[in-house]
Amino acid sequence: MEDLIIKGKKLLNSQQNTVLSAASLIMIMIVASRVLGLVRQRVLANYFAPSELSLFFAAFRLPDTIFEILVFGTFSSAFIPVFTKAIREGKGRAWQIAGRVVTIGILIFGVMAIAMGIWAPQIYSLIAPGYDSTQVRQISSLARVLFAAQGFFVISYVLTGVLESLRRFLIPALAPIFYNFGIILGTIFLTPYMGLMAPAIGVVIGAAAHFLIQYPLSRKLGFRFVWDFKPDSSVKKVGQLALPRVVDLAFDQIGKTTELFLSSIISQAAYTYYIFANTLQLLPVTLIGTSLAKAILPLLSRADGDIKEFRRILKVGIFQAVFLTLPLTAALIILRIPLVRLVYGTKIFDWNATVQTGMVLSVYAVAIVTQTLMSILSRAFFALHDTKTPVKISFIGLGLLVIGDFVLVKGFGFPVWALAASFAFSTYIEAIILLILINKRIGEVINKDFFVHLIKISLATLTSGGVMYFLIKFFDRWYWIRQTTSIPFESFVLDTRYSLNVLILTIMAFLIGMAVYGGLSLLFKIDEAGYLVQVVKRFIAKKTIPTIPQKEEEPVTPITPDTQG
């Protein structure tokens, strides 16, 4: 047992010194965190009706605003480069910077949290007018508790940046998992005594665990709290680097606040449907979009002086993004109802809630491809040392999103799926503009071969989608019951009143659909299909894993704790 404990500590504290080991570890933990996030949402759906949950999700709006702007905006783009540079100059200086950033961050956060906590009822009355005064007071009470969780994140995200800069990826990757566990356990054990306040307390417990799991190793490596509120040159540098990202994220909050504003007007439960659908569609966006974007940036940066190579890498990234996400779009649209039933279906999450969430999910799914492309195209501009263009285009997208939301909901009176439709439209416009601009910058990205390639992928996707649709209908007992036929369908159909049969039918339809997609991709000689086969062969053959050079700076981005979905 002692030997096992020693080995466990060694694993937790060890560096990941290969590209594949670091990337694989981060990917596995992202998958685990997102899957656990779905479990968390399922637990919430089991204890609270959609109308109650909407109050809990609405309470996140103000705390999430602080998190996105102050915490994630700063530490994902500014703190890590400054800390990494300081490490090369001397670890003592680097730890001083980390400690001072924590201290100043807590001060700024405390002032903002206290102000928003005091004025929460007035603010929520403005941004969520569909809720009555009693509900607004409940939302405000929940928000004040949730602010405590964001305080832990101010510290823990610095520790995440510190550990990842020192290539300790396992502990930071585990932190979001502990965060989700906190919410799940808090909901299960405290709900009978505290009602809707229970998951809010669970969020605080999870955020504390997010910090506590990272603190021992960070302290062992040299981190200390520094009670000095005066920013030095390095801290000022963090602020300067973070400013463009902070401004961008601040404007993003306008769009998210608009979604809450209009959801509360549509119905009390609408915001829950919106958040639940968003949780599902973010899975492929995070796993594929984030992974490709993180992988392509260093490659594009190295090819900056070679336009031909830069163009080749970018086109490979674009085609891989479309190839991997387009069939998932079809799958989410076709399988939306069984997916929602399997993930969220409880006694109090009824058929109407399933249909409403499924509609939002199917519309959201249309934007999976464009969200992934936006991540890649933005990185292309970053690699060309142009950070302004993506931000400018994001402002255009934000304007379209807000206008579209109000036109569709207030103008035409459409239900909550209209918010997803407006989001999808804005992402398409942003992706198209970014693609046109990068084509003007480097040339020959958009040409005849480009469109032929996309058409091949689209044809394979449409065919696989048709197969999935046929299977999901043909083997569903309730489809045949509604038909006038003498065919003895009972001998080959599944009774989808039972969850196990729904699971079997959904997995069968998805796997066969993906097999059809892969087969047609190879038949159409789509390069990405052949490359995927080669990757699988290499993995089976266990090729040598490349080592990260000790002096090479590896860009990292903290894994978000997935507060709502």
Helices (H), 60-196: 61-66, 73-74, 80-89, 91-118, 120-127, 133-165, 170-194
pLDDT of residue 203: 96
The first and second tokens of residue 380, run together, are 């292309």
Q: Is the dihedral of CA 422, 425, 431, 436 positive or negative?
A: negative
pLDDT of residue 300: 79
pLDDT of residue 448: 87
pLDDT of residue 296: 78
Query: What b/e sequence results for 355-371 when a residue is b if at least 16 CB atoms lie within 10 Å of its CB, and e otherwise?
Result: ebbbbbbbbbbbbbbbb
Going from the C-alpha of 234 to that of each of 87, 218, 230, 231, the distances in angstroms are 12, 20, 11, 8
Q: What is the pLDDT along the chain (565 residues), one digit of tens a residue?
A: 555 445 445 545 555 444 445 555 666 777 788 889 899 999 999 999 999 999 999 999 999 988 888 777 666 567 777 887 787 777 778 888 888 888 988 998 999 999 999 999 999 999 999 999 999 999 999 999 999 999 999 899 889 888 877 877 788 888 999 999 999 999 999 999 999 999 999 999 999 999 999 999 999 888 888 887 777 787 788 877 777 777 778 888 999 999 999 999 999 999 999 999 999 998 888 888 777 776 777 677 777 677 888 888 889 889 989 999 999 999 999 999 999 999 998 889 999 999 999 999 999 999 999 999 998 898 888 888 787 888 889 999 999 999 999 999 999 999 999 999 999 999 999 999 999 999 999 888 888 888 999 999 999 999 999 999 999 998 988 788 877 677 777 777 888 888 899 999 999 999 999 999 999 999 999 988 888 888 777 767 655 444 444 444 444 444 555 656 4
pLDDT of residue 28: 74
pLDDT of residue 345: 87
Going from the C-alpha of 378 to that of each of 66, 368, 390, the distances in angstroms are 24, 16, 6
Contacts of 399 (CB under 8 A, 6+ apart): none
pLDDT of residue 552: 42
pLDDT of residue 560: 57
- Amino acid letter, residue 469: Y
pLDDT of residue 7: 46
pLDDT of residue 214: 92
- Residue 281, burial from CB neighbour count under 10 angstroms (0-12, 13-18, 19+): buried
Between CA 213 and CA 178 the distance in angstroms is: 8
Between CA 118 and CA 115 the distance in angstroms is: 5
